[in-house]
Structure 1
Amino acid sequence: MSTIAQTGELHPWKPQQKLLFRIVFVYLLLQVLPLDWTFYRYLGSISWGHVTYQDIFNLAHYSTRFTAGPATFADWGILLVIATIAGVIWTYRDANKAADYNQLWYWLRVLVRYRLALAILAYGFIKFFPLQAPYPSLSNLNTAYGAFNRWKLFSMSLGIVPGYELFLGLVEILLAIALLYRKTASIGAFVFLIFCGNVFVSNIAYEGGDTVYSLQLIVFAFFIFSFDFFRVARLLLLQLPTAPNTFRPQFSNGLRVARIALKSAFVLYFIVIYGIKSGIGAKKDPYQYPGTPGLPDAQGLYNVTTYVLHRDTIPYSPVDTVRWQNVVFESWNTISIKTLEPVIIDNSNEHTVLNSQEGRNYESTGTNGRRYYSYAIDAGRQQLVLKNKNPHYKADSFVLTYSRPTPQQVILSAGDSLYVVLDRLPKKYLLQEAAGSGSRTRKLKL
């Protein structure tokens, strides 16, 4: 019976160490391995001949949970209870056995290393090809700063600097690669503890949706680094002689071949294929915004020149809560309408990567002041079928007839109840002008 101590030498396992290891082993195994039936249902729903980067991300983002919705710390509590009971039973059954858990510890660390690497790669590539925090939509650029919640402001602040987001993604990819190799795993885990610690604090400060998940990854990284923690502390903090790790796994020829094959498959699928598909997705199907085209050549900010409600013409007023203030047509099938009527904010902030167009609400979540509608175009009848994207207004849907007397004008109507004339404004945006100039320090001409 032996364990690796802080000097790298082998010492006998103490009874309390065995019990702690057994509990930790079961707990981490339950966190790493997919146990939720919904995971396997999703796995079976994937078209493997046409797998997408969204599919790969959702598989990598798996987290053990016992309730519907995002994972919570209550799930951790349930797992800990299960692990404690299993650890006690394991201890009782092995009470008279001279167990040596060094080999088991090694394989558990391998599983956690690859699970953490998979999670980091999933996020790394959607940052490297700026997908996670995209550039703000036209509607967002025409929304007052105070109308956004904290998490939306944080996300948009990252989205306007895609070079920085790319850098963060590159760091994550390199850390994941370091975790794949035994000699660099502790270094990668240590750097990731610092990196993900910032992510965890940001989620708390800005009310993000990945608080539980980011802390779970921190736990994985700490377990990996704990293998060398005492040696590092002894060498760097106490400045004492420290022996290197003396444990070396022994592989049979068959196991060695299987190990190389599995690692090669992991690299091929989750680095090469996932990286290529993420890059293609960034060009053709960024998951945060709908991919369905909107009304042709209508993108822009529109002033509401005429507003007639129930045959009553309502003039512009900065305090009117009924009249539309302005309208934005996105390049995709979203129209947003600014009014002074209060909007119940959609505060859902769970990070989801969707294949389907339905439910892509990044543009409308975390913001007040505008009403966001997805629409379908009936070109034969010259109609737009609008549906409110905010889940608090599921019943808010209607049909508008449209006409375009000029390329810069759109007229919307709904029988005798509504008649609106929209004129496109030639507005310029400082962010876009700065990006086009190639430098934030150059003077902008408006």
Structure 2
Amino acid sequence: MANTTKWSVAHKLIFYFCFLFFGLNTFPFPLDFIGEPVYNLIEKFWTPIINLLGNVFLDLDEITVRPNGSGDTTWNWLQELAILIIASLGSIVWLIAARNRANHEKLVYWLRIYLRYYLAATMLSYGLVKVFPLQFGTITTYRLYERLGEMSPMGLLWTFMAYSKGYQFFGGLMEVVAGLLLIFRRTTTLGALLSAGVMLNVFMMNLFFDVPVKIFSFWLMLIGIYLLSADAKRLWQFFVLNQPTQATQEIKIFADKKWFRIGRIVLKVLFIGITFVAQFYSNWQDAAPISAPKSAIYGPYKVEKFERNNVVSETDTLRLQEVFIDRRGATDMIYVTNEEGLRKRVNFTLDSTKHIIQMNDYAAPITDTTQYAFTYTLSDSEKLFLKGKIKNDSIKISMKKMKPRNFLLTTRGFHWVNEVPFNK
């Protein structure tokens, strides 16, 4: 029997807006597994719209910086503005076009399923890179030697999370559990509650530690809240008014169709296999280097001699003072510093047979594949000599490993019993 409940104008407008707002923000899921071709098409669609808004509101002819490691670029903010405008105007047009329709209960049913699975996939993805400490990694010697005041707010948060694998695991586990609960209809409300709570905390950390994922984390939280909206009255009665409540009455779509019941189970199994099992295995493999033995070349170094084009200069602004060769989680990294304020981070691969370090600029655009090769010589595990070229400059660096230090942060450990607070 068809549902003849007549929605109010406000009810329709809110639904139309949510449908368009969440739909535009989550698209092209689940086609995003195709990768770059899909994102290139999406970028071509948004480019003229975002450039138009940039010209109108910011007096910019073109927004040249595309989304990258930051999800809060000018491009992203203008895209959100465009989505809000499209969703608002689209809601009015939709209201006029569907003015004779009583409700959209079936469309609500499909939207909830779509958002459930989108949020589940995202929570599982973000959760698993914390269960395996890949997102924040582990504390490096660079961070241990760095002064607290020299850290960015985001760097402080990353260091805080990197300190404890246990806390990383717990945070990731909560996201994984929330994602798994969202996959099943009967546990959707619990999964949405947990997702909204977890993402509220993530959003607040992003907001107050200046992490450039504020937009994304905010509307992930909004998806959780939207999924809870269907149970708002029941939740209010149970948690606030302390009154009994009845089970929700879900609309039945193809309930009597065997092909639909079987298809739903097959798709659910495939979804779990792709978003959980496959990602679990992939992250497990990616985390293997964390516990792999390190070469003797790793460690903190003090630069004793720096030559550029065979010239030694104590006033060279590019002269390195300290070099930290380390592993942050599963990623090998080199950090370099000097007294002129230079703080540089590069990724590297090590060929211990040919004694070659291949580096690339971590901060460079993704399209920049420039690599710098240095030969190295390590004597008595203490002195390291690098020789190579950076662009047109020949570089020679002689450095000595710093004496080991027992940092309180890494040696204090955990104590069940504390007779007095140890807040140092």
Report the TM range for the smaller structure's normalisation.
0.7 to 0.9
In 2, are the aligned partners of 1:322 and 1:340 still within 8 Å (CA)? Answer: no
In 2, are the aligned partners of 1:320 and 1:340 still within 8 Å (CA)? Answer: no
**2:382 alignment counterpart:** 408
For residues 147-296 of structure 1, the aligned pairs below 5 Å read 147-239=150-242, 242-250=245-253, 251=255, 252-284=257-289
Give the letter aligned to residue 147 of structure 1.
Answer: E
**1:297 alignment counterpart:** 296
Residues 386-407 of structure 1: CA distance to partner in whole angstroms, max 9, x if unpaired?
Answer: 6654449x9x998766544433
The one of 116, 120, 136 aligned to 1:113: 116
The one of 326, 329, 339 aligned to 1:330: 326
**1:347 alignment counterpart:** none
Residues 65-96 of structure 1: CA distance to partner in whole angstroms, max 9, x if unpaired?
Answer: 76621363432332233233333333333333
Q: 1:2 to 1:24 in 2, by over 3 A?
A: farther
Q: Distance in 2 between matches of 1:267 and 1:304?
A: 51
Residues 128-178 of structure 1: CA distance to partner in whole angstroms, max 9, x if unpaired?
Answer: 111111112222222222211000110111011011100111111111111
For residues 5-20 of structure 1, the aligned pairs below 5 Å read 11-20=5-14
The one of 344, 352, 359 aligned to 1:371: 344
Residues 165-221 of structure 1: CA distance to partner in whole angstroms, max 9, x if unpaired?
Answer: 001111111111111122221122122222211111111110001100001101100
Q: Distance in 2 between matches of 1:40 and 1:277?
A: 15
Q: 1:281 to 1:384 in 2, by over 3 A?
A: closer
Q: CA deviation at 1:419?
A: 6.1
In 1, are the aligned partners of 2:5 and 2:103 still within 8 Å (CA)? Answer: no
Q: 1:148 to 1:261 in 2, by over 3 A?
A: same
Give the letter aligned to residue 82 of structure 2.
Answer: I
Residues 388-435 of structure 1: CA distance to partner in whole angstroms, max 9, x if unpaired?
Answer: 54449x9x9987665444332223468998765422233134368638
Q: Distance in 1 between matches of 2:151 and 2:341?
A: 13
Q: Distance in 1 between matches of 2:353 and 2:285?
A: 33
Give the letter aligned to residue 302 of structure 1.
Answer: Y
**1:42 alignment counterpart:** 35
Q: Distance in 2 between matches of 1:412 and 1:274?
A: 38
Residues 282-317 of structure 1: CA distance to partner in whole angstroms, max 9, x if unpaired?
Answer: 11489xxxx9x99x53112223445678888778xx
In 1, are the aligned partners of 2:109 and 2:251 still within 8 Å (CA)? Answer: no
**Consecutive unaligned residues in structure 1, runs of 5 or more:** 4-9, 46-57, 344-369
Give the letter aligned to residue 21 of structure 2.
Answer: Y
Aligned length: 381
Give the helix-richer structure, 1 or 2. Answer: 2
Q: 1:200 to 1:248 in 2, by over 3 A?
A: same
* Partner SS state of residue 212, structure 2: coil
Q: Distance in 2 between matches of 1:232 and 1:135?
A: 40
Give the letter aligned to residue 299 of structure 2.
Answer: G
Q: CA deviation at 1:21?
A: 1.9
In 2, are the aligned partners of 1:114 and 1:179 still within 8 Å (CA)? Answer: yes
**1:350 alignment counterpart:** none
CA RMSD of aligned residues (A): 4.2
Comparing 154-163 with 400-409, which one deviates more in the overlay? 400-409
In 2, are the aligned partners of 1:382 and 1:402 still within 8 Å (CA)? Answer: yes
**Percentage identity across aligned positions?**
22
Q: 1:14 to 1:384 in 2, by over 3 A?
A: closer
Give the letter aligned to residue 119 of structure 1.
Answer: T
In 2, are the aligned partners of 1:2 and 1:101 still within 8 Å (CA)? Answer: no
Q: Distance in 2 between matches of 1:440 and 1:179?
A: 36
Q: Distance in 2 between matches of 1:28 and 1:390?
A: 32
Q: Distance in 2 between matches of 1:177 and 1:381?
A: 47
Q: 1:434 to 1:440 in 2, by over 3 A?
A: farther
In 1, are the aligned partners of 2:309 and 2:395 still within 8 Å (CA)? Answer: yes
In 2, are the aligned partners of 1:309 and 1:417 still within 8 Å (CA)? Answer: yes
**1:424 alignment counterpart:** 401
Q: Distance in 1 between matches of 2:95 and 2:124?
A: 37
**2:130 alignment counterpart:** 127
**Consecutive unaligned residues in structure 2, runs of 5 or more:** 51-65, 419-424
Q: Distance in 1 between matches of 2:12 and 2:310?
A: 80
TM-score, normalised relative to structure 1? 0.71
Q: 1:176 to 1:41 in 2, by over 3 A?
A: closer
Give the letter aligned to residue 408 of structure 1.
Answer: E
For residues 73-92 of structure 1, the aligned pairs below 5 Å read 73-92=77-96
**1:27 alignment counterpart:** 21
**1:142 alignment counterpart:** 145
